[in-house]
Amino acid sequence: MNWTDWTLKEKIGQLIVVRASGFLFDHQIRYPLWEAPEKPLKHWLKTLNLGGVILLGGSAVELAARTQQLQGWSQTPLLICADIEEGVGQRFSGATWFVPPMALGAIARDNLPLAERYATEMGEITAKEAIALGINWILAPIADVNNNPENPVINIRAFGETPEIVGALVKSFIEGAKKYPVLTTAKHFPGHGDTATDSHLHLPIILHDLERLENIELPPFQSAIAAGVDTVMTAHIRIPAWDRKNPATLSPQILTEQLRQKMGFEGLIVTDALIMGGITQEASPEEVAVRALVAGADILLMPPDPEQTIEAVYQAVRSGRLSEARIDQSVEKIGQAKEKLGLFSQTVSTLDLEALSTESARLSVQTMVKKSLKKGGNLPLKIENQQPKKTLIIVNDLLNCDFLDRACPSVLIPKSFGYDVELRDQRLLDHEVSKDSEIVLQIFIRGNPFRGTAGLTPKSQSFYHQLFQNNQIKAVLIYGSPYVLDWFLPLFSDNLPWIFSYGQMPQAQAIAWEELLDLAKPSQQDSDVFI
């Protein structure tokens, strides 16, 4: 990459990663505020010399066509990234969907070497499938230590609650991914685990002293750096112990002094998304972009308007606020990363369907689900055929639950045993459940961006109390947050059958129901449906 011949604006373009839909057509776009339609997106890639694209949405097969299309529009090979912390299938249907990282942390508490092996497998399979689809930059692993049960956004996305377990599994994931030509990312520096605020909505503040930060928050990032992580993503959080004024994304003390100088990180520093509420409240989008670069960031992820961002950074260089040498440093690092990936020597590749969701990958997921499963009460559940039966499924958000459809195991299996199915949003629990039915309660609750809470709402807690007082609950299956399970456990009688799974995906649902009902090994046809 002969970047020395570029204009200043072409160099600045390399520092920007824009968001795009993984779907091929404009009418499929799901987040129009963040994902540009084809005409402006194609214009940006052809004329602005952008550095990369972050993708969300679409099937795995469609994504392969999409990444080739985007690379074809760009004058310089693109970094193409995705938030695939739980495998490619978490975001792009058809590929392998792993357990949430905290499931491996649960295994690690009893058997750390086994959990490390699973984390290595997870990194390796994720990288292999990513490359097959044209993704060359994995925005994982999460190096946050989730030691706050009220954390609404990290939650089970973290590997665990202690720096020792998180550091070990972060290292193993990176080592697995390094077997393929992809970039890995440790996030969210310097540690988003002990917050009760979602930085997608507001700016969290962490009030810990330096000793606590150095003992708990920083060690997993040190492990990631030692393992050769390629990029570190900043957190939109304020930590007064280091910088009373600036959030980490805009803080020279945190990005340059801590990460670069004290911790010795030489790779790429990428901001978290610059459209998040935790950072947009600080200044205008253009000012935020300039301040992030002044602080030490190399890549600006998802600025609202790349043209305005380039102009703002250009003017900052002309005014002397930033030097062109500073821009050149980041461009050189980006070029080195692209060279490492072989982007300048690659020909257009075709989709390798055989690399996706292989039998061995699915068996790995199955093993991880079973090893991290929790259960109690009198199992298996004994079904009384003469009684009216219902499974009540409650989710965080009915409009955003990719793990549920009419053919998923949590619906299909109980239906096959004569259960009626009722689906509710936990924010809409106003009317009572009929008292003449026995209920198998299924709850899908976990931390995720933009929800503001990782647990149960006060209204839902009152609703559950009433169900238990009515003596209607005959079994409970909880998928997602172990902190939700902790809330329910005092309500369970010693005999009540219950199952907890960190995973919410169909494969985890099937395993949970098989444990609940002690199903014999299904036929191959049933296995294809359920597992």
Residue 30 has which token pair?
């799901």
> Could you say which of 144, 194, 272, 298 is catalytic?
272
List b or e across 473-509, with b for residues whose CB sees 16 or more CB atoms inside 10 angstroms. bbbbbbbbbbbbbebbeeebeeebbbbbbbbbbbbbb
Burial class for 418, CB neighbours closer than 10 Å (0-12, 13-18, 19+): exposed
> Could you say which of 194, 200, 236, 298 is catalytic?
200
Q: Phi first, then psi: what are they for 399, rounded to 5°?
A: -85, -10
Residues 6+ apart with CB under 8 A from 498: 375, 376, 377, 475, 476, 477, 478, 488, 492
Residue 400 has which token pair?
């955003």
Residues 6+ apart with CB under 8 A from 256: 295, 296
- Per 3-state DSSP, the chain is made up of helix, strand and coil in percentages (nearest 5) of 45, 15, 45
Residues 6+ apart with CB under 8 A from 497: 375, 376, 377, 378, 379, 380, 381, 474, 475, 476, 516
- Distance between CA atoms of residues 427 and 464, nearest Å: 13
Q: Is 110 helix (H, G, I), strand (E, B) or coil?
A: helix
- Distance between CA atoms of residues 137 and 391, nearest Å: 41
Would you give the DSSP letter of residue 183?
Answer: B
208 catalytic per annotation: no
200 catalytic per annotation: yes
CA angle 205, 488, 475 (to 5 degrees): 145
List b or e across 119-136, with b for residues whose CB sees 16 or more CB atoms inside 10 angstroms. bbbbbbbbbbbbbbbbbb
- CB neighbours (10 Å) of residue 280? 16
- Distance between CA atoms of residues 275 and 19, nearest Å: 10
- CB neighbours (10 Å) of residue 319? 9
Q: How far is CA 203 from CA 85, 243, 324, 524, in A?
A: 23, 14, 31, 50
Q: Which of 301, 327, 325, 302 is nearest to 313 (CA)?
A: 327
Catalytic residues, by residue number, are 200, 272
